[in-house]
């Protein structure tokens, strides 16, 4: 399930995408999964936004994390 893979990419305490080495590793695993299964960047962003909205109502934080995902993944997936 995509959402389970996405949640592993965020810090539990701070909700930052790939902010810790283990979160970074999970983010590369997520990218590989997306490439292998034809999952679009928009799908990843949508699922990440759903997850982040369950963790915080801070729109600036959510926007920043989605931007980080887009920057990291956009060279690889559309």
Q: How far is the C-alpha of 35 from the C-alpha of 29, rounded, in Å?
A: 10
Closest CA to 67 of 48, 40, 43, 39: 48
pTM greater than 0.85 (yes/no): yes
Query: Could you report the per-residue pLDDT of 7-46, keeping only the tens digit for each?
Result: 999 999 899 999 999 999 999 999 999 999 999 999 999 9
What is the structure's pLDDT at 14?
A: 92
What is the structure's pLDDT at 1?
A: 85
What is the structure's pLDDT at 72?
A: 97
Q: How far is the C-alpha of 7 from the C-alpha of 78, rounded, in Å?
A: 21
């Amino acid at each position: 399930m995509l959402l389970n893979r996405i949640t592993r990419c965020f810090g539990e305490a701070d909700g930052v995408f790939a902010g810790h080495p283990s979160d970074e590793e999970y983010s590369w695993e997520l990218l590989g999964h997306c490439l292998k299964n034809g999952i679009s960047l928009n799908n990843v962003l949508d699922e990440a936004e759903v997850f982040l909205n369950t963790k915080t109502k801070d729109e600036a934080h959510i926007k920043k994390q989605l931007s980080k995902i887009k920057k990291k993944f956009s060279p690889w997936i559309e």
